[in-house]
Amino acid sequence: MPVRKPLVLAICCMSLFIVGLDATIVNLALPSIRAELGASVTGLQWTVDAYTLVIAALLVLSGSTADRLGRRRTFQVGLVLFSIGSLLCSIASTVGLLIAARMVQAVGGSMLNPVAMSIITNTFTEKRERARAIGVWGGVVGLSMAAGPLVGGALVETIGWRSIFWLNVPVGVLAVVLTALFVPESRADRPRRLDPVGQLLVILILAGTVFGIIEGHGKGWTSPLIIGSFAVAVLSLLALLRYEPRREDPLLDLRFFRSVPFSGATVIAVCAFASLGGFLFLNSIYLQETRGFSALHAGLLTLPMAAMTAVFAPISGRIVGTWGARVPLVIAGIGLAVAGVLLTTLTPTTPIALLVTAYAAFGIGFGMVNAPITNTAVSGMPVAQAGVAAAIASTSRQVGAALGVAVLGAFAGSAAGFWIIAACGVAVGALGLATTSQRALKSVL
């Protein structure tokens, strides 16, 4: 049977939509979860970050595993685990059980993002065709994460917060069946060996950093536990930088980072998704607890953000496929920076018009950023290692989202968090200019 490329792309995008949706849909349910389960602000941060942290820690492993065992098979296993985790979330009776179930979800989710990108890369082999397919993929990821608050608000208001997890199950089952029928199996010609030491070091780096940031506010930044947490992260990073180059098949191929565009795309992704993760967390608390809006009303207020992301994500993909990544990245930086500055003025009586303007600016900026960072990160990398290259790019997104919730969550109720969003926007635009310059591009030829 000939490969139906648009159908393969649609299946990958459908599966990724629920994963991206789940990364943000929980934000609108946080006040309801807090009320029913008695969660603290720290507990709410972990409810969001347990998901993104586990995904970030396992993405590279999942990408290399798919290259070795088969991308379609790994994709299907991920869908099954994600669906099971969603069911467990829907019946959780305590915050601890909910966080544990979110981690099960994330194990499955880690098998979807990089593997789907690898499937797309190996299905669309012509350069321009691939760039446009990646643009669609990036747009779907961005749209799903931006639409999460709107969908979440409607479900929480009408059915209850547990319903946001029910949504994933039928979509996951359908995706498993369609994948079996229409997605061709593929493997790397020379798959990488397992790297358990490298994987452990990555987990320690991410867990130590995020734990220290989230718990530091309550336990004290100078407490032995927090200092020890950051020390573990730093020592693990130093060990990783020393250990990985000596391996024939490292978990993280640090040679990728010799590419200025690839490194720039990684940092840009961290900044952009830190803005998104922090914005959604702070905005949910502001709209529902400070302003007193219902979950549905709060979701409707974020509609301009979702709408602008939906409009500008595919436009960004077309611009990247035709003219390159510079223009979308600069526009993305401007949009995020403007939104951040506007949001620093929030008060309990801020006019709705200002909120809508800020949300629209954020949606434009975030809608423009996905396609260029994805295409820049993957283009030029060996097709045989597409899973690993895509996994590193996807990891940077999840790391950014986790750091955004951890860092900006500590500034709930103040303008400092939104100033950080503005700074991230400036960084996105500046790095976009720097890493797409002729000098940067020539350095890797």
* Percent of the chain at pLDDT exceeding 90: 17
Q: What number of other Cβ atoms are within 10 A of residue 294's Cβ?
A: 14
| Residues in contact with 107: Cβ distance below 8 Å, sequence separation at least 6, in sequence order | 54, 58, 81, 85
Q: Which residues of 342-367 are buried (b: 16+ CB within 10 A; e: fewer)?
A: bbbebeeebeeeebeebbbbbbbbbb
Q: At what angle do helices 168-182 and 71-90 cross, to 10 degrees?
A: 170
Q: DSSP per residue over 171-222, as a string?
A: HHHHHHHHHHHHPPP---SSPPPP-HHHHHHHHHHHHHHHHHHHHHHHH-TT
Q: What is the mean pLDDT of residues 268-278?
A: 88
Asked whether the whole model's pTM tops 0.75, one would answer yes
The predicted pLDDT at position 441 comes to 47
Residues 367-411: tens digit of each pLDDT: 888 778 877 666 655 555 555 666 677 788 888 888 888 888 777
The predicted pLDDT at position 381 comes to 58
Arithmetic mean of pLDDT over the chain: 82
414: pLDDT strictly greater than 90: no
The predicted pLDDT at position 437 comes to 61
DSSP 345: T
- What sign for the dihedral angle of Cα 25, 209, 137, 170? negative
219: pLDDT strictly greater than 60: yes
The single-letter code of the amino acid at 251 is L
Distance CA 330, CA 307 (A): 20
